[in-house]
Amino acid sequence: MLKRIVRKILRSLAHAPLIGRYVRMAAALYRIAAMAERTGRLNGELQQAASVSATPDADRDNLVISMPVSLRKLRRDVDALQAQLAVLERRQD
């Protein structure tokens, strides 16, 4: 509720002479900070997904269970490819 009121006031001030430019610049800086925070969270999630292959088997299984369906499908594909690679390596030996 308070956030809505502040937004309404800032929108009206953005068109006011003299201070409108500064209000718009402050709003842009606020949006940039919020976007940087979201990007940081996304980077953290990507690093977590990338670390799945570097964790021990028990931790990897826990992470795989908590990942979205598409990431679980990718994990199954990787596991299948690793199994096929192991079979081929055994045949070559």
Whole-model pTM: value is 0.41
CB 72 within 8 A of CB 79: no
Kindly report, residue by residue over 8-39, the tens digit of the pLDDT: 888 888 888 888 888 888 888 888 888 877 77
- Give the separation between CA 90 and CA 62, rounded to whole angstroms: 29
Q: How many domains does the chain have?
A: 2
Alpha-carbon distance values, 6 to 9, 32, 43 (Å):
5, 18, 31
Q: Which domain holds residue 83?
A: 55-93
CB 12 within 8 A of CB 19: no
Judge if 49 and 88 occupy the same domain: no
Kindly report, residue by residue over 45-91, the tens digit of the pLDDT: 777 776 665 556 666 666 666 667 677 778 888 888 888 888 888 88
Judge if 39 and 61 occupy the same domain: no
Judge if 49 and 69 occupy the same domain: no
At 61 the pLDDT is 67
